Structure 1
């Protein structure tokens, strides 16, 4: 699903952004929760310290009335003759809260105050009346309450006690924060898609140029633009194209020169042989010279395929196949040709005619007859050539495309040829973005399948026997 580099890179960036934003949000939310809870605890300490200072500065007879006025459902205040919970090793937060309380009520000694700040009531806590309505109230879903209990020594036999709870933190998370994070993620995603598109566009252009080079060495060079690294890669690619083209042209020129240099003495030898008195040796010599001329011409055809400068044009491939079949039929060959509908292809007419001629000629030569079928399958042109011959050994199917390699079934009679027909056909078809494959048919004979990219399909059908 994510096969392209662009899609994979964007996906990795988006997942990374989502994970990082989620972790950041979780850390922020947790820190904010703890801050709010601790702030509530300090507020309770300040309120308790205020009540404690007040009770220390008024006559003792007024204490019950002040305690009753300060007591509430959410903040309990009451007096006992002993601490309401046992002294335990304080936590870091409890030590900080104790220090804050003593700073507000300086008269308190070290052993005159006990602070409890945890999620549950202290073990053995001496509960005041109505505690179940306050400290044991249900915590809202998703929120957290912490219990704050304080016992302060106010006299020989009097301890002033305070009990409160932090506010539920279910609503501590600001609702707009999720919207902000989602909006930031959307903006970052758009920027990532744009940036990765710019980074991968040169790779796409290079892939297109490489594909175009595979079918046409004289294709327009790749544009040398963009970042420094992209320009360097484009320059290297264009230099490679020039070297490949020069290599093919040098090979073609060398073979053309060799052909010319060899054909001149062969022509001279033929003239001298023809001027000699007629004899059996003269006939053999003329046949040998003709074979040499044919071999040289075949070599030259093979070399010229890669350097072919024929212009491409829109052509009717069905009509081209029918004309080739007509030419073979005029020589008495047994073959049929079926074209399901007009088929258009953008290519080199002469080169494609040579490729199809080589394949059909092989089918007639080695398989006695040829059945040619062409059809359009979506964006692909498929041409099948069946013969009635003995087929090819499976191990040699791939080898027959090598130059000067011929393969026939065991016991099949030897045929004339140089083993270049299928090699030339394959080079031409690959130059047009196509492919050629061989397979032995179950009912006997060989099937050659050729595929080419279609230019466009025409609706009117055409068929000929």
Structure 2
């Protein structure tokens, strides 16, 4: 099945037209066949009716003898016999017989019974009593050719034999040749079908493109939608499509306005919360008890980090940072060095250089979150890179206890932590994995987690669209 609207519309119309034309061809073919039979039977009945009229003349036998001598080479003289001709493989034609009865009644002819048969071959007795068997000679004559007649007439496909029983018991029989016009009829029907397809499908192709073009533009804008960008679709196409485009443009404007309002609100929240936190930090410095002061400072810093994670997650997709070609190997080394400088067990298996089009600041933050989780919950972090044809996968492995399979999906939900005690000394706010996955998906990738067979957990950051590598 075609996937496009135009393709499906054309396929439906073509299939429907094919069914309708097939029925039409069948009916026309049946009609042509019946017309052949009726035409042949009418010629035979007319010839017999003329013969019956001549039989009323007293000098009939003498004149028939003279006609037989004249038509010895021309044929089409009715056969007068004591019985109907024997036709072993003939098919009875009741409808022709009924019509012939009415015709002879209207002519006032005195007949006892009528028999109409269709056969492929005629007996020898009827060879001189066939109407239309020599038509080919006249059509192929020197006179017929210049007048535009066919050089080769249709072949004979059978005969209609009409036999009439007279009141004295004699039978008058005559055969009429059936010409096979099927090739001519089929050619005309084929031409008719092609013309119908052209007449219907060409306008439908134009209409389909007229409808689908604005829909394709609308789909492209929807697929490339970015928060903060208010791309508008030009209003075109039929009225229904125009109303859809108008509704989409209005929705796009409303979404943009809501995001703008959200950014303003987040900026106000960040300012209103960070200002008192900074003031509180200054006041905490005056506390004399060193242990108490350090605990208070740790709480303030944790609140500041949590606030920063929340704001970063809320503003994701509206970042002012543009994508640029970045050496992933150098980026990983920078992040790993930050943990190593703090004395934390993080290692990187240096691989090939890979250039990927990313927003480096956001990607660095996602890696910090994944490596930090591996060190907190899995005791260490080992980073490696796998490259496929379409993706670049950054693997962060640990040797910890792992996570039950049924709990892995929930780990990406906000404020969910693998350590359920909510103890700040053993974990963060529960936004690290959520933010890392959001950053990866903002790049068109994803973050997945799975337990390793040898023990521990693997977090995989997937980045698509590798630009270059060496």
Conservation of the 8 A alpha-carbon contact between 2:284 and 2:293: yes
Which residue number corresponds to residue 219 of structure 2?
207
Which residue number corresponds to residue 27 of structure 2?
27
**C-alpha spacing 1:226/1:3, structure 2 compared with 1 (3 Å):** closer
Q: In 1, Cα distance between the equivalents of 2:105 and 2:232?
A: 84
User: Once the two structures are superposed, what CA deviation does each residue of 1:261-284 show, in whole Å capped at 9, x if it has no partner?
Assistant: 223333333333333545654443
Q: How does 1:30-429 map to 2 (within 5 A)?
A: 30-57=30-57, 59-62=59-62, 65=65, 68=68, 75=76, 77-80=78-81, 91-101=94-104, 106-109=107-110, 112=111, 114-119=113-118, 130=125, 145=158, 147-151=160-164, 153=166, 157=168, 159-169=170-180, 171=182, 173-174=184-185, 176-177=187-188, 179-181=190-192, 183-184=194-195, 187=198, 192-213=204-225, 216-218=227-229, 220-278=231-289, 280-332=291-343, 333-345=345-357, 347-408=358-419, 415-429=426-440
Q: In 1, Cα distance between the equivalents of 2:108 and 2:72?
A: 23
| TM superposition shift of 1:398 | 0.8
SS at structure 2 position matched to 1:174: helix
User: Once the two structures are superposed, what CA deviation does each residue of 1:71-96 show, in whole Å capped at 9, x if it has no partner?
Assistant: 899856333457779xxx99444332
**C-alpha spacing 1:442/1:284, structure 2 compared with 1 (3 Å):** closer
Which residue number corresponds to residue 138 of structure 2?
none
SS at structure 2 position matched to 1:438: strand
| TM superposition shift of 1:405 | 0.8
Conservation of the 8 A alpha-carbon contact between 2:47 and 2:78: no
**C-alpha spacing 1:383/1:268, structure 2 compared with 1 (3 Å):** closer
* Count of equivalent residues: 436
Q: In 1, Cα distance between the equivalents of 2:246 and 2:419?
A: 47
SS at structure 2 position matched to 1:49: helix
Conservation of the 8 A alpha-carbon contact between 2:444 and 2:463: yes
Comparing 204-213 with 184-193, greater Cα deviation is found at: 184-193
Conservation of the 8 A alpha-carbon contact between 2:85 and 2:123: no
Q: In 2, Cα distance between the equivalents of 1:338 and 1:193?
A: 56
Query: Normalized against structure 2, the TM-score is what?
Result: 0.78
Conservation of the 8 A alpha-carbon contact between 2:85 and 2:173: no
Conservation of the 8 A alpha-carbon contact between 2:162 and 2:173: yes
**C-alpha spacing 1:321/1:196, structure 2 compared with 1 (3 Å):** farther
| TM superposition shift of 1:406 | 0.8
| TM superposition shift of 1:369 | 2.9
User: Once the two structures are superposed, what CA deviation does each residue of 1:182-201 show, in whole Å capped at 9, x if it has no partner?
Assistant: 63476355655554344334
Query: Normalized against structure 1, the TM-score is what?
Result: 0.79
User: Once the two structures are superposed, what CA deviation does each residue of 1:103-162 show, in whole Å capped at 9, x if it has no partner?
Assistant: 5xx4524xx2533234469xxxxx986369999xxxxxx996463323253xx7363511
Q: In 1, Cα distance between the equivalents of 2:74 and 2:393?
A: 88
Comparing 12-21 with 216-225, greater Cα deviation is found at: 216-225
| TM superposition shift of 1:353 | 2.2
| TM superposition shift of 1:98 | 3.4
Indicate the RMSD between aligned Cα atoms, in angstroms. Answer: 3.8
SS at structure 2 position matched to 1:436: strand
Which residue number corresponds to residue 124 of structure 1?
none
SS at structure 2 position matched to 1:457: strand
Comparing 434-443 with 46-55, greater Cα deviation is found at: 46-55
User: Once the two structures are superposed, what CA deviation does each residue of 1:11-66 show, in whole Å capped at 9, x if it has no partner?
Assistant: 33332232222222222122112112211111122222233333434604415515
> Does residue 16 of structure 1 match 2:29?
no
| TM superposition shift of 1:454 | 0.8
**C-alpha spacing 1:20/1:150, structure 2 compared with 1 (3 Å):** same
SS at structure 1 position matched to 2:444: coil
Comparing 184-193 with 292-301, greater Cα deviation is found at: 184-193
User: Once the two structures are superposed, what CA deviation does each residue of 1:301-332 show, in whole Å capped at 9, x if it has no partner?
Assistant: 22222432322334444443343334334444
Where in structure 1 are there 5+ consecutive unaligned residues? 122-126, 136-141, 461-465
Which residue number corresponds to residue 139 of structure 2?
none
Conservation of the 8 A alpha-carbon contact between 2:227 and 2:318: no
Which residue number corresponds to residue 134 of structure 2?
none
> Does residue 449 of structure 1 match 2:434?
no
Q: In 1, Cα distance between the equivalents of 2:275 and 2:35?
A: 101
SS at structure 1 position matched to 2:99: helix
SS at structure 2 position matched to 1:343: strand
| TM superposition shift of 1:418 | 0.6
SS at structure 2 position matched to 1:147: strand
Conservation of the 8 A alpha-carbon contact between 1:367 and 1:387: yes
Conservation of the 8 A alpha-carbon contact between 1:41 and 1:166: no
